Each structure stands twice: as structure tokens, then as C-alpha cells.
Amino acid sequence: MSGQGAQQGLVKRQFGHRARLALAPSQVMALDAQGHAARATWNLLHDWWLMLPRAKRTLAAADAVIRQGRAELEWLGVLPAQAAQAVLKSYFQAWKNCWEGRAGAPEFKARFRTRMSIDIPQGRDLHVVRVHRRWGMVNIPKVGRIRFRWTRDLPAGKHASKGHRITGARLVKDAVGWHIAFRITTLASAPALHCGPEVGIDAGIAVPLALSDGENIEHAPWLSKKEEERLLYHERRAARRKAYRTAGARTSRRLQQTYDQIARIRATAKRRREDWQHKTTTSIAEVYGTVVVEALHIANMTRSAKGTIEAPGSQIAQKAGLNRSILGEAWGRTVRLLAYKVADRGGVLAEVPAPGTSQECHRCHTVTPGSRRNQAEFVCRNPACGWEGNADTNAARIVLYRYRTGHALVPAAGRAVVRRAANGVKPATAR
């Protein structure tokens, strides 16, 4: 079969895979130096951009400035040339996103509030090989060969081809250490239409995910009681140490160590949440052909209740606790994971308007205030109906009803609402 004929019926897909690096102390120091150099390159480029007139802000001029800086500053030259070019490309893309209304203007990257990252734009520089059942090796420019945890098959060595290959990677440091996120491109057969049943999903706090068929998907607390106590201890310790710091003074080493301990505990909770989200969304995508969720505006839901001086808010502490609980569930990430997993299996993900789903009865569709007695119980106030049952299940059935009656939202500019199998694009850290 010809090369063109072999491509028929195949779709190009891009996804990511993240793995933890096993680094020696010297390699950690080398990557830290590159990460700080990448952050400094961004900041110097940002200052240069703001100082120059608009007519002189060109890509060629910025490239010349970066080359000159890497040649004159030894600590800036530790960053590989291709990684420096990736910083320049990311900076210009950030301004493009700002001009098109997709994001705010680029800002200065502070040392302790910015996650360090290094981009490796070309996959041919990585030379990924599998050396053991659990370990692989990857080449990092100006660092050398590094081991990483092998948790899935990667297109390495003889398994790599033009249609199935690693196109690049990004090194990211979090509270646990350095990780590598591979960018993978592959050709795969278009999935057949998923003939599974339809399901509506209601996201909540007491019940994380309630399905319209009556099933509730829950999880244990992200942190154990002992871990929560240790987190509270370090947070109080950091508050006391911060109180003795002079305004504008540099953060002490002890305070920074306390911040690192807090970050490690929170990173543990984040990894457990992401693991639960991946497993849960995979099971939903495999069973159901159509998944309907609410179009939640989480930024508005978690807005502070402090108010203004003229109109101060009320119950500020209670609202702050509710906001933490909402953000801790990461509903938006759950929807993003569902989007590509449902599409990969030939299904459909749709979003419907969220207002009123908790107050409308799924049987008679009457909206009556006070029908939801508490977090778990729903009692219809319509005398002709009087349905009683689980409040979260009722809301999930309303979500599915709105989809069936043609209330699915139409995709807006830059926002994919109804996602079908033809999308074929996965976000990073896909499993």
C-alpha cells in the first residue's frame, strides 16, 4: 500500500506524558541553574520590551538581544540555545494571547512564586531509550543522560516512526522535584461511534460527582488527619515567622524551608486528586457514550465576599471556606479530562446551563424555592408531584433533561463546548 493510502482512516493526535526524573545532586544543581536562567531570560526580555518604542519591538531584535545576553553573561549561557529560543517564542505568544483577549498581559516572574520550567523544543535531542521494566533514559541538553520512571510505552528506539514520535518535552519543577513532560504525536484510527447510554453529571462538594442513573462517585479526603495537622502546624509556623519579618526584607531561609514543607504536603494532595480524577473519568468515558455536565463559571463562584469599604460583605470566613472546598475539587480539570477521554472512545461531551438545576424537580420540572431541604434531600413543593429523593441525583437528571430538550450550549469563540471524537487532541499528562 502506498504511503498516502496508509494514512487513510487515520487521525493525528497529540498528547503528553509526565514522568518523574531520578537526579543526582549535581544534576539537580544544573537543572536549577537552567531554570533560573530561563526565568531571568523572560524577565530581561520583558524589561526590554517595555522600555523600547513599539516600532522597535520585533522578533528579530528580541532574538539579537537574547543572543548578546547569553554571550556576555556566563550564568545566562547555561541555558541551551534552543531553550532560550523557546522562552522568546512563549513570550511573544503570551502577548498575542493578550491582544486577542484570551489572557492578561505578561508579567515579571518572581523567584519564589514561579514554577521553574525548561523547554526542549526538538524531540531528536532527547534520545529516549528503555533500559529496565521501570526505568528509561533521556538526554537533557547540557546535563547528560538522566533516568526517569517508565510508566507507559513511549515511541522510543525502534518503536518510533514518523507518525508515532516524541516531538519535544518540557522540564518542570514542583514541590516534589523535577519532572519531564513529553510531547507525543501519533497516528491512530478514528474511533467508532460509542453506543453507550447517556448520563448527566452534577458536580458538588459533599458528593463530588452524582450521576443521573443514581450512582454517586466519592473519594476519601486528599490528606489524612495526621497530614492535615502537620499542614496546619507549618502554616501557623510560617505566619509567626512572617510576622517578625520587616516589610520588604528578603525571606529568611527558615521561613522558606517552612514554605517548602507546606508546598510538599499540598503537592501530595494534588497528586492524589489527579490520580482519582484520571481513574474516575476513564471509567465514565468507557461506560457512557454521551456525557452531559453543567457549564460552571468557577471564577465567579469562588469570588471573595469581602466587598468594598462602602459595601462590606458578610460571612466572609464561611465564603472563604466554601471557595477552598470548590477549588479543592478542581471541577474544571475533571471536565477537561472527560473531554478528551470521551472523544477518544467515540463519545460526546456536552455542557448545559447550570442555573436552577438544584431547585428544579426532574419529574414535573417545577422550580420552587426551598425544595432542597439540605445537602442531600430534595422534596418537590408541587402538590401534584411531591417527589422525594437524593438532591444530587435530581440535579444530575435535570442536567441530562436539558441536553435532551436541546439546551446544550453552542460553542463560543475559543471555547469548545460540545466535543466530538474528531477533536483528537489531549492535554498534557494524559493517561
Do 32 and 167 belong to one domain? yes
Q: What is the pLDDT of residues 237-255, one digit of tens each?
A: 999 988 887 777 788 889 8
Reported in sequence order, the residue ranges of 94-240 that DSSP labels E, i.e. its strands, are 117-120, 129-130, 135-140, 144-149, 164-173, 178-189, 198-203, 209-211, 216-217
Do 293 and 361 belong to one domain? yes
User: pTM for the complete prediction?
Assistant: 0.80
Q: Is the pLDDT assigned to residue 11 strictly greater than 90?
A: no
* pLDDT at residue 280 in the model: 94
Mean pLDDT to the nearest integer, 82-90: 92
**Is residue 223 in a domain?**
no
* pLDDT at residue 160 in the model: 67
Residues above pLDDT 90, as percent of the chain: 40
**Is residue 172 in a domain?**
yes
Q: Is the pLDDT assigned to residue 73 strictly greater than 80?
A: yes
Please, what's the b/e burial string for 360-382 (b: 16 or more CB within 10 A of its CB; e: otherwise)? bbbeeeeeeeebbeeeeebbbee
Q: Give the domain range for residue 65.
A: 3-189
Closest-CA residue to 417 (of 334, 333, 335, 326): 335
Find out whether 171 and 180 touch, Cβ atoms under 8 Å: yes
Do 86 and 167 belong to one domain? yes
pLDDT band at residue 308, thresholds of 50, 70 and 90? low
Lowest mean per-residue pLDDT among 226-235, 336-345, 364-373: 364-373
Do 150 and 209 belong to one domain? no
Do 305 and 363 belong to one domain? yes
Do 172 and 38 belong to one domain? yes
Mean pLDDT to the nearest integer, 202-226: 90
Q: What is the pLDDT of residues 141-187, one digit of tens each?
A: 999 999 999 988 888 766 666 778 899 999 999 888 899 999 998 88
Rounded distance between C-alpha atoms, residue 16 and residue 343, angstroms:
16
Mean pLDDT to the nearest integer, 320-347: 88
Domains identified in the chain, total number: 2
**Is residue 324 in a domain?**
yes
Query: For position 369, which CATH number holds?
Result: 3.30.420
Write out the H or E segment, with its range, that includes residue 14: strand 10-22
Q: Is the pLDDT assigned to residue 2 strictly greater than 60?
A: no
Do 182 and 206 belong to one domain? no
* pLDDT at residue 277 in the model: 94
Mean pLDDT to the nearest integer, 307-330: 79
Give the total residue count for the chain. 431
DSSP 248-293: TPPPPHHHHHHHHHHHHHHHHHHHHHHHHHHHHHHHHHHH-SEEEE
* pLDDT at residue 415 in the model: 41
**Is residue 264 in a domain?**
no
Do 132 and 206 belong to one domain? no
Find out whether 354 and 331 touch, Cβ atoms under 8 Å: no
